[in-house]
Amino acid sequence: MTTSIPSPVAPPRRLLMGPGPSDIDPRVLLAMAAHTVGHLDPYFLKIMDETQSMLRQVFRTQNTLTLAISGTGSAGMEAVVSNLIEPGDKMMVCVNGVFGGRMADVADRCGANVIKLERAFGEIFTSEEVETAVKQHRPKLLGIVNAETSTGASQPVAEISRICHENDSLIAVDCVTSLGGQPVEVDEWELDAVYSGTQKCLSCPPGLSPVTFSERAVATIDARRTKIQSWYLDMQMVKNYWGNNRAYHHTAPINMNYGLHEALRIVLEEGLEARFARHQRNHLALKAGLKAMGLKYAVKEGQQLPMLNAVFIPEGADDVAVRQQLLNEFGIEIGGGLGPLRGKTWRIGLMGAASSPSNVLVFLAALEKCLLDQGLAIVPGAGVGAANTAYRANWNFVSPYSAVNRKRDVCGQPIRPAAITLKQGL
């Protein structure tokens, strides 16, 4: 039998402007190429401690139980639900997209009595409707998605968290797409359990899920009457590995943790406020360019995510053909719609390292070429011109925050400047 050896791995260079993964900073890739050590090696334990500290800063929390689950964002979702829910518990899940639906599915598999509060894809929930439902059903846990990747909708959660606590409910929040790209204030909003992913605005390869649990959530886990459904995601055991005991639980993905460590260093070097402003500035420029080309957003103004832009496919454009041309001719990846929005929307990501003026301008020029090739009436140069106008209108609102973010208060948290307001300029 003839031995056949495949060619070495040599992926094409892409601009990752879809719903994730995002472009990876070269510093992260370099960190991941460092020498592997054992999962209980003193050096790796130091990396774990530093990663926890940086995650607390990015999550804006002092929660002790803050760490990186060995698995993607969906593992973080399962960890949160399976640890807080016991068979028969009521869990209300707000479903307005694919990932709200997935959370409901996970809860059902954990034996929860699942109550779905539903909205159309692309819409968000009001605090009033959530309050009515919570008072009626009195769930043990309410789950909601802060940044719905399937629709591009940004869901406020602070007021909903207050409603949950006033009615003796816990709140779990999906921040897979929002963490590192827009404010996530775990302590200020009093969120009980939050999970995220490394492959979105943190610009790290997929493979880890940052999670954080409040003292209230930890007490709930400790008071369980039944075993946690998942052995691998049992936080009572996982926290002993990440905590002072260093009790062996599983072999952590060492080099993946190196990558997250460096990604978090990059986030904190830039400063959270500056990072949020960068995502918003590039979002406004992209939106101006798309509007000039006749494209409309699938989410209402004021409810749009800055890092995930969902737009309706213009009439006469071939969804798959445009995405294939972008990929094959320009090396640009964007995403198609999911669920009822399949074939109706494009999802354009500006996450982490991919959120840059050069990517915005290159994408708009490439999309113009694709649409013109399909015979759509696009004014040549209109998109790039509008984006540049938006950049000029908003450029002065991006300030260097690195010096501010080096300052720490007595708790070791960054001292925050006043909130940034960006002109729309459109």
Same domain, 238 and 375: no
Which of 203, 234, 269 lies at the terminal end of a domain, its last residue?
Answer: 269
Task: Say which CATH number the domain at 69 has.
Answer: 3.40.640.10
Same domain, 256 and 277: no
- Could you tell me if residue 5 is inside a domain? no
CB hemisphere CA count around 102 (13 angstroms) = 18
Same domain, 263 and 286: no
- Could you tell me if residue 12 is inside a domain? no
How high does pLDDT run on average in the chain?
93
Compute the distance between CA of residue 54 and CA of residue 70 in angstroms, rounded to an integer.
17
- Could you tell me if residue 138 is inside a domain? yes
Q: List, for residues 48-83, the tens digit of each pLDDT value.
A: 999 999 999 999 999 999 999 999 999 999 999 999
Same domain, 92 and 226: yes
**Tally of domains in the chain:** 2
Q: List, for residues 266-303, the tens digit of each pLDDT value.
A: 999 999 999 999 999 999 999 999 999 999 999 999 99
The confidence score (pLDDT) of residue 410 equals 32
Same domain, 154 and 239: yes
**Res. 397 pLDDT band, cuts 50 70 90:** low
Reduced to 3 states (helix: H, G, I; strand: E, B; else coil), residue 139 is coil
Choose among 208, 308, 211: nearest CA to 262.
208
User: What is the domain range of residue 389?
Assistant: 271-406
Compute the distance between CA of residue 289 and CA of residue 319 in angstroms, rounded to an integer.
19
The confidence score (pLDDT) of residue 419 equals 36
Retrieve residue 277's tokens: 């402003």
Max Cα separation, the chain? 70
Q: List, for residues 243-258, the tens digit of each pLDDT value.
A: 988 999 999 999 999 9
Is residue 349 within 8 Å of 308, Cβ to Cβ?
Answer: yes
Task: Say which CATH number the domain at 341 has.
Answer: 3.90.1150.10
DSSP string, 182-226: S---TTTTT-SEEE--SSSTT---SSEEEEEE-HHHHHHHHT-SS
Same domain, 173 and 318: no
Choose among 215, 236, 270: nearest CA to 403.
270
Compute the distance between CA of residue 226 and CA of residue 224 in angstroms, rounded to an integer.
6
Same domain, 84 and 215: yes
Percent of the chain with pLDDT over 70: 93
Does residue 411 carry a pLDDT above 70?
Answer: no
The confidence score (pLDDT) of residue 171 equals 98
- Could you tell me if residue 9 is inside a domain? no
Same domain, 383 and 342: yes
Is residue 421 within 8 Å of 394, Cβ to Cβ?
Answer: no
Which of 269, 286, 314 lies at the terminal end of a domain, its last residue?
Answer: 269
Percent of the chain with pLDDT over 90: 91
Which of 269, 304, 335 lies at the terminal end of a domain, its last residue?
Answer: 269
Same domain, 285 and 248: no
Retrieve residue 171's tokens: 């709140």
The confidence score (pLDDT) of residue 27 equals 97
Compute the distance between CA of residue 45 and CA of residue 41 in angstroms, rounded to an integer.
6
Same domain, 319 and 342: yes
- Could you tell me if residue 416 is inside a domain? no
Is residue 267 within 8 Å of 275, Cβ to Cβ?
Answer: yes
- Could you tell me if residue 140 is inside a domain? yes
Nearest-10 Cα torsion for 80, 85, 86, 89: -170
Compute the distance between CA of residue 5 and CA of residue 97 in angstroms, rounded to an integer.
43
Same domain, 228 and 286: no
Low-confidence winner among 50-59, 93-102, 236-245, 329-338 (lowest mean pLDDT): 236-245
Same domain, 222 and 304: no
Q: List, for residues 6-24, the tens digit of each pLDDT value.
A: 999 999 999 999 999 999 9
Amino acid at 412: G
